[in-house]
Copies of this chain bind each other. A is one copy, B any other.
Amino acid sequence: MPYDPSAFPPFAVTVDLVVLTVRRHALCALAVRRGEPPFQGRWALPGGFVRADEDLSQAAARELAEETGLRAHDPSVPAQDNGAHLEQLATYGDPKRDPRMRVVSVAHLALAPDLPAPRAGGDASNARWAPVEELLEQGGYGRDGELAAPLAFDHAQILADGVERARSKIEYSSLATAFCPPEFTVGELRRVYEAVWAVALDPRNFHRKVTGTPGFLVPTGGTTTRQGGRPAQLFRAGGATLLNPPMLRPEV
């Protein structure tokens, strides 16, 4: 097939972001309110057009910074610091997914600690962290009594795919630490798993598992009592990225 420029239809290419964090024992996603049609006033995932000279991951990192102030974690820099984990999720290209034109969206998944406050163009009322169940349920009422309209476009599907990716990936990788601050306790890490999987885990078995997996956690020497109770050791994420054997997700 010759590459005649008139032989292929032009597409708009966007990146959409599933930004996940754990707040108040719940897995939450960043949502922004749409200012223009279509779906004006509805909640949507943050995103935007890919620029002409930009790689897809660059566009995703730029959007992430614009919406949250988070820097994406560059894998080439060992000190991951405040950087959020960012990875490509999947691409959505149904011809009718945007009523105005043909848009192909390359969705990315970002995992961040609880710290940041959302800001959409500086307007906090148009951005929020919402529990993923609240964003995914159709027609219910959210915590604020507002009718929970479904997310704009196919963003409910994208969010569901991102949540599923995160849920499965923390099984066999050390990615759960991306939800934690630079230093954290075993209990805090356990609460991340409990929030993401929406299950209760045995603290003793969890402690044995994570401290017994080489390279997963590195003790910093410090302790903290910020969770109450007996002081807990502080850890940093170790170099290991793959968990073998994996963390087992309870059946029900």
A28 vs B169: C-alpha distance when bound (angstroms): 28
Determine how close the nearest CB of chain B comes to the CB of A129; give it in whole angstroms.
Answer: 22
Whether the pair B95, A36 counts as a contact (CB closer than 8 A) is: no
Would you call A13 an interface residue if the criterion is a C-beta within 8 Å of the partner chain's C-beta atoms?
yes
What 0/1 readout, one digit per residue, does chain A (68-110) give for beta carbons within 8 Å of chain B? 0000000000000000000010111111000011101010000
- How often does this chain occur in the complex, in copies? 2
Q: Which of the residues B52, B56, B102, B106 comes within 8 Å of A9, measured between beta carbons?
A: B52
Within 8 A of B (CB), among A102-160: 102, 104, 106
Q: Which residues of B contact A90 (CB under 8 A)?
A: 88
Stretch with Cβ within 8 A of B (4 or more), from A43-51, A176-184, A187-195, A232-240: A43-51
Whether the pair B5, A102 counts as a contact (CB closer than 8 A) is: no
Would you call A12 an interface residue if the criterion is a C-beta within 8 Å of the partner chain's C-beta atoms?
yes
Q: Which of the residues B2, B51, B93 comes within 8 Å of A50, measured between beta carbons?
A: B93
Determine how close the nearest CB of chain B comes to the CB of A66; give it in whole angstroms.
Answer: 10
Would you call A202 an interface residue if the criterion is a C-beta within 8 Å of the partner chain's C-beta atoms?
no
Binding site secondary structure of chain A: loop
Q: Which residues of B contact A55 (CB under 8 A)?
A: 93-95
How many A residues, CB 8 Å from partner?
33
- Interface pairs A-B: 7 shortest CB-CB: A10-B10, A9-B52, A56-B93, A8-B49, A91-B91, A11-B13, A8-B12
Whether the pair B93, A52 counts as a contact (CB closer than 8 A) is: no
Whether the pair A52, B102 counts as a contact (CB closer than 8 A) is: yes
Whether the pair A54, B12 counts as a contact (CB closer than 8 A) is: no
Whether the pair A3, B95 counts as a contact (CB closer than 8 A) is: no
Within 8 A of B (CB), among A1-38: 1-3, 5, 7-13, 36
Q: Which residues of B contact A53 (CB under 8 A)?
A: 95
A88 vs B105: C-alpha distance when bound (angstroms): 14
Whether the pair A3, B36 counts as a contact (CB closer than 8 A) is: yes
Whether the pair A104, B104 counts as a contact (CB closer than 8 A) is: yes
Q: Which of the residues B9, B49, B100 comes within 8 Å of A7, measured between beta carbons?
A: B49
Q: Which of the residues B9, B10, B88, B102 comes within 8 Å of A91, measured between beta carbons?
A: B88
**Which residue of chain B lies nearest to A2 when distances are taken between CB atoms in the complex?**
B36
A100 vs B101: C-alpha distance when bound (angstroms): 24
A100 vs B93: C-alpha distance when bound (angstroms): 23
